[in-house]
Amino acid sequence: MAAITLTIDDKQVSAEDSQSVLSIAQEQGIAIPTLCHLEGVYDVGACRLCLVEVAGVNKLLPACTTKATEGMVVRTDTERLRKYRKITLELLFAERNHVCAICVANGHCELQTMAYNQGMDHVRYDYCFPKWDMDLTHERFGMDHNRCILCARCVRACWHIEGAGTKNVAGRGARSHIITDMFQPWGEAESCTSCGKCVMACPTGALFERGSTTGEMQRDRTTLEFIVTAREKKQWIA
Amino acid sequence: MDLSELNQIKERELAARKKYTLRCCMAAGCMSSNAESVKEELEKAVTEAGLGQEVEVRGVGCMRLCCEGPLVQADPDGILFEQVDPDAAKSIIAALKGGKAKARLGNPQSPFFTQQKSIVLANSGIVDPERIESYIAADGYQALYHVLRELDPNEVVTEMVTSGLRGRGGAGFPVGLKWGTVAKSPGAKKYVVCNADEGDPGAFMDRSVLESDPHAILEGMAIAAFAVGADQGFIYARAEYPLAIDRLKKAIKQAKAKGLLGAGIFDSPFNFTVDIRIGAGAFVCGEETALMMSIEGRRGTPRPRPPFPAESGLWGCPTLINNVETLANVAPIIRNGGEWFAGIGTEKSKGTKVFALAGKIKNTGLIEVPMGTPLRTIVEEMGGGAPDGGTIKAVQTGGPSGGCIPAHSLDTPVDYESLGKLGSIMGSGGMIVMDQDTNMVDVARFFMEFCMDESCGKCIPCRAGTVQMHHLLDKIMDRKATARDLQKLEELCDMVKSTSLCGLGQTAPNPTLSTLRFFRNEYEERLQPDVFGPRGNGKPAKTKASA
Amino acid sequence: MDRLRVATIWFGGCSGCHMSFLDLDEFLIDLAAKIEIVFSPVVDTKEYPAAVDVCLIEGALCNEENVEWLKIIRERTRVLVAFGDCAVTGNVPTMRNALGLNNDVNVLDRAYRECADNNQGIPNEAGIVPTLLKRVIPLHEVVHVDLFLPGCPPPAGRIKSLLVQVLEGQSPVLEGANIKFG
């Protein structure tokens, strides 16, 4: 392991040669937007939000999977990158049914936060409005494909932190979707340990704890009735 | 197996040749028009005529003029019969003795044949792809012997560098450089992979090579393995090519039986085995990193490069991946020398290239021409131009990653650089000809739909970007789009090209960009006035006429 | 100084954005001195006037009447504001789109036939009952929108921030959490 020096956004920084550009930038307090990156699991370079410009390289490189090298000159926030990042977010919002107002993750969503941080006040592309179902067969967790951005953080957390290998991706293109075991309902997926790591990994409202959706809000009215009846009949007095 | 045994097989095979040979095309194209029955009937007719000692009926690989199949060619005179009906078998046998054949006569002296230069397809249509002896008779496995017994790996790599051969899968990376990198990459275990996942619409070069000359691929792979230090090879073929897979399996079995694959080949310390892996129908698995994922038994999605496969490929080991046509060039280069190969083609594009001619053209089929051949020669002379008195409007090369070259640029020589300058690519060799009735927006939409369906879904620009670009192209086709939509389309093309993870996404906008470059008027004439757009602000935009 | 001619309207929405507007409380009094509401659900005008400076449009486009109105508004308005998530993204009203091709027929069927106790039947009176669109869409799919004010509803502070900038004659810029959806 050797120490190297590189330049990120005109700032000279030193780092170890095994580090990714993303981790060095984060250490230096330089914010590079990410969605598929998650501390603790390996990087796949899929969301393309962390693309950066590297002097002498004619392609844009994902900061998460690009190892830093001596003398590298990196730019993380150019006009071109900002434009591409905004388009990426617009594409995500148009792709599935992200209805923030009624989403379980409203106010706690990385996609939502990313959108306003990148200045996206509307989506210029026509929305796709695909039909996706929810999987509510697991007793503790739910999966709403309408909110999924296919970052596969849940898949990586399931395989590489929990080691269960329950989650996977099926289908291709726009019909790609997260599945459990061999495309069984989550509740019947025998390999699932119900550890909840996938829910913790999810950046949006696609994976959530049961009971947190508006449709699932259950109120136990019988308790009220019990208290009123008991008070009227003075049942708590021995 | 040693050299004398190899030569013995060759001599025995040549000695067994008969006075007449009827070569019957047994590649997928002709077989789909009943070539098997033609061959059977010919064999029957030979027996009935009692000419078993004089006439050999040989099943061979692709004879190239696919549109006129089933094809049969009679040696030694080279008489070509087209669209042969099984019922004509007797008359063809009789024709050998001066009778009149009830089959259409083709012209082997037409430019379609005479303008070809065969290296990759040298054995195609000549040797029996199902018999290793037939390949050995055509000097097969001589190059492997030479390499194993007379050269060291370094010299093999040098020979490839000298040849100037560039990857025939589409990108045109120098083959010698790639081999040298894998050879130098540290690792006890290395792999050689043959990419036979040909998937471009209208492309069938690799299929034909595999069906016609499978041993050439095995020999090329073995030479490559020796050069880079690998002992295991994989051929990744798509399941849609059952005949190619079948012939490869037979070839591997025969080569193993003859000791040309396996342990201690030609009594050298070199071991090499080849296994076939069959793809499950995903276009993206032709991308090398996705292909390796698939071989490893994982979901076929690409990963960012670097690391390149040469450094970290199959199971993390250095891996050499070459396309079918690239590997088919290897044995001829070793046999004739890199200098010989470098003498063919242009300064930067050496050798020949196989193209699958298809679309609005008289002669559809397979051609192999020296690099640098003008498109016009290919399309007009060899291809015979557009059928039914039509005019050629454009030629599409490079499939969904390529572009449309307009008719006024037909004098462009076919080489990597010239095609690149026109916004297209060499690609793997699909060449689709379009005539005056072709709508270029529709062409762009077709290829975009292909990319949209074949996107693996891993990265956002390709997965969601192709959907939006396709939608915008749909809107333009339906005359519902405005200038703003066209602007959005162009912006998306740039974004998807610049940000996608792998080649599929990075090149998906190419057909759209190139049709926009050369046929922009076809887009613009479909646009609607942007009455409620930003500048109109409600009022119908002023037209040139009213201004 | 002439007061700014302001209009508001709601299409496929819940009127929540208008309620949020009323949450401007005492600022409404300041506003009254600077703007004139020339058209709004709270003003008894049937026809959209000419030469409107600013129009706040709440709600998504759900039926043909919405689209007709929007085009009229675009023609007669200088600054058109997509007011709230439904106008900006389509939001909740778009949820029927995912039900597929016949979603417009199906929702009416569900509401007026399956769930009706009396007089089952889909209301259908040409020229009176507007036809539903096949697909609920945000405003900018039909006309150019000058400003986007997201939020479900946009909080009063966010509305004020935009209005103040408009009143000062600037071209308003909303940033950060001020353009948060939901």
The full DSSP string for A61-77 is EETTTPBP-TT-EEES-
pLDDT at A196 over 80: yes
pLDDT at B541 over 50: no
pLDDT digits (tens, 9 = 90+) for C157-181: 999 999 999 999 888 999 999 999 9
- Chain A CB within 8 Å of residue C51 CB: no
Do residues B208 and B77 both lie within one domain?
Answer: no
- Chain B CB within 8 Å of residue C66 CB: no
**What was the pLDDT predicted at B545?**
38
pLDDT at C64 over 70: yes
- Chain A CB within 8 Å of residue B93 CB: no
DSSP collapsed to 3 states, B431-476: EEEEECCCCHHHHHHHHHHHHHHHCCCCCHHHHHHHHHHHHHHHHH
Question: Do A119 and C97 make contact, defined as CB atoms within 8 angstroms?
Answer: no
Do residues B391 and B313 both lie within one domain?
Answer: no
Domain with CATH 3.10.20.740 in chain A: 3-77
CATH of A84-216, one of 1.10.600.10, 3.30.70.20, 2.40.160.20, 3.90.1150.10: 3.30.70.20
Question: Do A101 and C181 make contact, defined as CB atoms within 8 angstroms?
Answer: yes
What would the two tokens of residue B298 be? 């994982």
Supply the Cα-derived Rg of chain B in whole angstroms: 25
**What was the pLDDT predicted at B547?**
33
Residue B391 counted as domain residue: yes
Burial of C142 (0-12, 13-18, 19+ CB in 10 A): middle
Residues of A with CB under 8 A from a CB of B: 44-48, 51, 59-60, 62, 65-66, 83-84, 87-88, 91-92, 94-95, 124-126, 128, 149-150, 152, 168-169, 171-176
Of A92, A168, A172, the CB nearest to B464: A92
Range of the structural domain that residue B451 is part of? 440-524
Residue B8 counted as domain residue: no
Alpha-carbon separation of residue B366 from B35, B100, B134, B252, B472 (angstroms)? 17, 29, 22, 25, 35
Of C76, C78, C144, the CB nearest to B532: C144
Do residues B260 and B404 both lie within one domain?
Answer: no
Higher pLDDT, B207 or C121: B207
CB pairs under 8 A between A and C: 77
Average pLDDT of the residues in B437-460: 97
Question: Do A122 and C82 make contact, defined as CB atoms within 8 angstroms?
Answer: yes
Range of the structural domain that residue C159 is part of? 4-179
Question: Do A48 and B459 make contact, defined as CB atoms within 8 angstroms?
Answer: yes
pLDDT digits (tens, 9 = 90+) for B391-410: 999 999 999 999 999 999 99
Question: Do C94 and A123 make contact, defined as CB atoms within 8 angstroms?
Answer: no
Do residues B59 and B105 both lie within one domain?
Answer: yes
Of A59, A88, A172, the CB nearest to B461: A88
| CB < 8 Å to A87, chain B | 465, 491-492, 495
Question: Do A100 and C88 make contact, defined as CB atoms within 8 angstroms?
Answer: no
Do residues B294 and B368 both lie within one domain?
Answer: no
**What was the pLDDT predicted at B539?**
53
Residues of B with CB under 8 A from a CB of C: 532-534, 536-539
Q: Can you give the pTM of this predicted structure?
A: 0.93
Do residues B62 and B203 both lie within one domain?
Answer: no
Residue B470: CATH number of its domain: 1.20.1440.230
- Domains: count for chain C: 1
Of A83, A173, A176, the CB nearest to B453: A173
pLDDT at B537 over 60: no
Question: Do B460 and A124 make contact, defined as CB atoms within 8 angstroms?
Answer: no
Do residues B285 and B393 both lie within one domain?
Answer: no
Residue type, B356: A
pLDDT bracket for residue C51 (50, 70, 90): very high
pLDDT bracket for residue B542 (50, 70, 90): very low
Query: B38: closest CA among B78, B79, B89?
Result: B89
Nearest CA in chain C to A126: C141
The C-alpha of A82 sits at a distance from chain C's nearest C-alpha, in angstroms, of 15
Question: Do B463 and A87 make contact, defined as CB atoms within 8 angstroms?
Answer: no
| CB < 8 Å to C143, chain B | 532, 538
Query: A132: closest CA among B267, C144, B268, C100?
Result: C100
**What was the pLDDT predicted at A30?**
97
What would the two tokens of residue C116 be? 């009706």
Average per-residue pLDDT in chain A? Answer: 94
| CB < 8 Å to A131, chain C | 98-100
Average pLDDT of the residues in B497-508: 97
The C-alpha of A160 sits at a distance from chain B's nearest C-alpha, in angstroms, of 15
The C-alpha of B486 sits at a distance from chain C's nearest C-alpha, in angstroms, of 14
Out of B378, B408, B434, a domain closes at B434
Do residues B237 and B170 both lie within one domain?
Answer: yes
In the stretch 121-140 of chain C, residues with CB closer than 8 A to chain A read 135, 137-138, 140
pLDDT digits (tens, 9 = 90+) for B231-278: 999 999 999 999 999 999 999 999 999 999 999 999 999 999 999 999
The C-alpha of B449 sits at a distance from chain A's nearest C-alpha, in angstroms, of 11
Residue B97 counted as domain residue: yes
B525: left (phi over 0), alpha (psi -120 to 50) or beta: alpha
- Chain A CB within 8 Å of residue B491 CB: yes
Average pLDDT of the residues in B488-515: 97
The C-alpha of B531 sits at a distance from chain C's nearest C-alpha, in angstroms, of 8
Do residues B417 and B291 both lie within one domain?
Answer: no
Of B461, B488, B501, the CB nearest to A124: B488
Let me know the angle formed at the C-alpha of B499 by B475 and B462, rounded to the nearest 5 degrees.
Answer: 45
Choose, out of B299, B458, B473, B492, the residue to mutate when testing the contact with A (most A CBs < 10 Å): B458
> How does DSSP assign B136-147, residue by residue?
HHTTTTHHHHHH
| CB < 8 Å to B468, chain C | none
**What was the pLDDT predicted at A227?**
84
Average pLDDT of the residues in B525-544: 69
Give the number of other Cβ atoms within 10 Å of residue B491's Cβ: 14
Out of B319, B342, B365, a domain closes at B342
pLDDT at C1 over 60: no
pLDDT bracket for residue B346 (50, 70, 90): very high
Q: Thinking of the domain A3-77, which architecture would CATH place it in? A: Roll (3.10)
Nearest CA in chain B to A170: B299
The C-alpha of C45 sits at a distance from chain A's nearest C-alpha, in angstroms, of 31
Give the sign of the dihedral formed by CA B259, CA B265, CA B268, CA B273.
negative
- Chain B CB within 8 Å of residue C134 CB: no
Average pLDDT of the residues in A69-74: 97
Q: How far is CA B69 from the centre of its chain?
A: 20
CB pairs under 8 A between A and B: 93
Of C97, C152, C180, the CB nearest to A129: C97
Question: Do B460 and A174 make contact, defined as CB atoms within 8 angstroms?
Answer: no
Query: B284: closest CA among A172, A175, A151, A49?
Result: A172
Residue B347 counted as domain residue: no
| CB < 8 Å to A101, chain C | 85, 91-92, 152, 181-182
**What was the pLDDT predicted at A225?**
85
| Paired sense of beta strands B319-323 and B191-196, if any | parallel
The C-alpha of B492 sits at a distance from chain A's nearest C-alpha, in angstroms, of 8
Domain with CATH 3.30.70.20 in chain A: 84-216
- Chain A CB within 8 Å of residue B501 CB: yes
H helix runs in B362-459, sequence order: 375-376, 416-421, 440-454
Do residues B101 and B156 both lie within one domain?
Answer: no
**What was the pLDDT predicted at B544?**
40
Do residues B284 and B211 both lie within one domain?
Answer: yes
Q: How far is CA C165 from the centre of its chain?
A: 20
Question: Do A44 and B303 make contact, defined as CB atoms within 8 angstroms?
Answer: yes
The C-alpha of A2 sits at a distance from chain B's nearest C-alpha, in angstroms, of 19
Residue B31: CATH number of its domain: 3.40.30.10
- Domains: count for chain B: 4
Of B282, B457, B467, the CB nearest to A150: B457
Average per-residue pLDDT in chain B? Answer: 95
- Chain A CB within 8 Å of residue C85 CB: yes
pLDDT at B536 over 70: no
Q: Which chains touch B (3 or more CB pairs under 8 A)?
A: A, C
CA pair distance B134, B251, nearest whole angstrom: 11
Average pLDDT of the residues in B511-530: 96
Q: How far is CA B250 from the centre of its chain?
A: 21
Do residues B430 and B445 both lie within one domain?
Answer: no
Q: Which chains touch A (3 or more CB pairs under 8 A)?
A: B, C
> How does DSSP assign A95-160, residue by residue?
HTT--GGG-TTTTS-HHHHHHHHTT--S--SPP------EE--SSSEEEEGGG-----HHHHHIII
pLDDT digits (tens, 9 = 90+) for A120-133: 999 999 999 999 99
Which residues are within 8 A (CB) of A124 and not within 5 positions of it... i.e. 6 or more apart? Answer: A90, B488, C140
pLDDT digits (tens, 9 = 90+) for B15-68: 999 999 999 999 999 999 999 999 999 999 999 999 999 999 999 999 999 999
Whether the CB-CB separation of C73 and C55 falls below 8 Å is answered with yes
Of C95, C140, C182, the CB nearest to A100: C182
pLDDT digits (tens, 9 = 90+) for C147-162: 999 999 999 999 999 9
In chain B, the percentage of residues whose pLDDT exceeds 90 is: 93
pLDDT digits (tens, 9 = 90+) for C101-156: 899 999 999 999 999 999 898 888 888 889 999 999 999 999 999 999 999 999 99
The angle that helices B440-454 and B460-477 make with each other, rounded to 10 degrees, is 150
- Chain B CB within 8 Å of residue C143 CB: yes
Residue C54: CATH number of its domain: 3.40.50.700
Question: Do A121 and C92 make contact, defined as CB atoms within 8 angstroms?
Answer: no
**What was the pLDDT predicted at A237?**
66
**What was the pLDDT predicted at B540?**
47
- Chain A CB within 8 Å of residue C173 CB: no
pLDDT at C85 over 50: yes
